[in-house]
Amino acid sequence: MSNLPDFTNYKALDLLQWAEENIKGKVGLSCSFSVEDIILIDLWTTINPSPYIFTLDTGRLPQETYDVIEKVREQYKVQVHFFYPHTGEVEKMVNEHGPNLFYRSVELRKLCCAVRKIHPLQRAMKDLSGWICGLRKSQSITRQNLQKVEIDEQNNHIYKINPLLEWSDTEIWNYVREHNVPYNALHDKGYPSLGCLPCTRPVKEGEDIRAGRWWWENPETKECGLHQR
């Protein structure tokens, strides 16, 4: 990290431009099709009309997520690369622990996340030199120490770029309105954070924006492992 620039004053588009110009090899956008991810597609396609976008289809996503994927493909003329969990792993896990294992313990929930998300991510990352994420500090107490550009020690020490790290909710939605960005319909139904259908619910007024993710757990455990440091 010592040889990296000081990114303090870099804006989102500056970071994407830096990644385009300085990372040797393939750079991919890890996309759950949250509003943040689609903003990144909107930004990135201004400098690269054919960005590499990939998504992890866990097999338990809400229909609204598939609907917005189609909108994004149509509006931006981009290809979305899907990575699925291995059938054998899912079958073994569900046969041993049942389809709703994640509600019973943090350990079983993390097992489900590993099978459905982390293992597919590892396959997706195998050929990448950098990955772009829509993480923001305001989303969770587990994300307060993130940097705009990091070295991801969990994933082959590739670059991890977080262009929207400092953005507020107001900045997010102002950008959506100003640039006609499509977004997941669940955001209008009280879902500020998106994930698998059984593990995500709307948040109540005044609740933290990640309160709807794994709501039965303590805030300190609310990561699936994709962004564990």
Check 112, 133, 199, 224 and give the catalytic one: 224
Phi, psi of 29 (to 5 degrees): -100, 115
Handedness of CA 17, 27, 1, 22 (dihedral sign): negative
Q: What angle do CA 169, 4, 163 make, to 5 degrees?
A: 15
Residue 112: active-site member: no
Cβ neighbour number for residue 14 with a 10 Å cutoff: 13
Mind telling me the catalytic residues?
Answer: 224
